[in-house]
Structure 1
Amino acid sequence: MFLPALTTGSKAEEPKTAGDPLAALSKGGTLMVCRTCGKKGDHWTSKCPYKDLAPPTESFIDRSSATEGTAASAQGGPAKGTYVPPSMRGGAERSGTEMRRRNEENSVRVTNLSEDTREADLRELFQTFGSLSRVYVAVDQKTGMSRGFGFVTFVNKEDAQRAINKLDGYGYDNLILRVEWSTPKAN
């Protein structure tokens, strides 16, 4: 690569390139191509001298009307290259609410917990009744203390029922626990 020698006092060449900062760099190769006229290295697209002569470009293309007559949309599928959300792809049978829903039929809600209660404490208390799949204690984000309630999900519904029968009204950490089904029980 050729580097020009630095000389003091030679300001004769500066006015040529002072107006266009890329003129000096573009001598070695093409740095830019005008999107309007396709010329290389002369000017930027915004300064194109031919922009008034160029045909108008479509800035917005309505894809839905453009693909209405295609074979893909006639078959019920999307056109090639269009985004399809995972819930609408072939073979997907789950809706958004079903994807987020946990198996809450075996969940119990525990209220009147002290501020010091952690998930490990609830796990220790409830695991004597059966296998647990999930333990959650609501925690205040600012203080890091328990908000006074939590959820325990059992593997078996019978275990959850036994826990409700034994622990509802149970004295724990100087408070009386309230233990009930987390959702209305389906009959």
Structure 2
Amino acid sequence: MGTKADDTKAAGDNLSQLGKGGAVLMVCRTCGKKGDHWTSKCPYKDLAAPTDVFVDKPPTGETSTASAAPGSGKAAYVPPSMRAGADRSAGGSDMRRRNDENSVRVTNLSEDTREPDLMELFHPFGAVTRVYVAIDQKTGVSRGFGFVNFVSREDAQRAINKLNGYGYDNLILRVEWATPRPT
């Protein structure tokens, strides 16, 4: 056994040997050079051909090079609803979407108003397909407006004629046609 100075000298020799002939510390994935630099600091990365990027699933050929940015070497992101084979008619958000043709906007609702209250108020005028009351996410109370969708436009018109200016929960309701959403 040697002294402490001999032990540290031997340990230092082992570390210096790693880069010379023993094990290689690192290999650049871009240029393949050993032990000189990290891949992210490769001086040759601009000159190297684009490498395959990690993908979660193998490519299916539905992304075309026309959708890719020119010269980027990568395909542009395509949302699932726009991909080939996607069923655009049956989306999960269809239940929350309103039909603008027969939609009525109700304003000046009290904070206590909920969707069953509006359903009870509007269903005597005809078949209602959807009722929505805007709720504040932080407080959990009504934001003072909502939407009611009717099956037929005539039923919606009757509801507007009868309930616009109607006193409900100590407030006077304003009932009008909902403006279509911009597309």
Show structure 1 runs of 4+ deviating over 6 A. 87-92
Separation of aligned partners in 1, 2:129 and 2:138: 28
Separation of aligned partners in 1, 2:141 and 2:132: 13
Question: Match of 2:117, SS?
Answer: helix
| Equivalent position to 1:16, from 13, 18, 42 | 13
1:106-125 to 2 correspondences below 5 Å: 106-125=102-121
Which AA in structure 1 matches 2:11? Answer: E
Q: What's the TM-score once normalised by structure 2's chain length?
A: 0.57
Counterparts in 2 of 1:180 and 1:78: CA distance versus 1, 3 Å: closer
Which AA in structure 2 matches 1:33? Answer: V
Q: Once the 2 structures are TM-superposed, how far is the Cα of residue 78 of structure 1 from its aligned partner?
A: 5.0
Q: What's the TM-score once normalised by structure 1's chain length?
A: 0.56
Counterparts in 2 of 1:59 and 1:124: CA distance versus 1, 3 Å: farther
Instruction: Return the index of the structure with the highest Cα Rg.
Output: 1
Separation of aligned partners in 2, 1:55 and 1:109: 58
Question: Match of 1:83, SS?
Answer: coil
Q: Where does the alignment leave 5 or more consecutive residues of structure 1 unmatched?
A: 1-8, 61-71
Separation of aligned partners in 2, 1:55 and 1:111: 60
Separation of aligned partners in 1, 2:169 and 2:46: 75
Question: Match of 1:143, SS?
Answer: coil
Counterparts in 2 of 1:14 and 1:131: CA distance versus 1, 3 Å: farther
Question: Match of 1:123, SS?
Answer: helix
Separation of aligned partners in 1, 2:78 and 2:38: 36
Which AA in structure 2 matches 1:148? Answer: G
Q: Once the 2 structures are TM-superposed, how far is the Cα of residue 159 of structure 1 from its aligned partner?
A: 1.4
Residue number in structure 2 paired with 1:32:
26
CA RMSD between the two structures: 4.5
Q: Once the 2 structures are TM-superposed, how far is the Cα of residue 38 of structure 1 from its aligned partner?
A: 2.2
Is 1:116–1:146's contact at 8 Å kept on the other side of the alignment?
Answer: yes
Number of equivalent positions: 149
Q: Where does the alignment leave 5 or more consecutive residues of structure 2 unmatched?
A: 51-63, 89-93
Separation of aligned partners in 1, 2:143 and 2:149: 19
2:162 maps to 1:162? no
Separation of aligned partners in 1, 2:67 and 2:158: 51
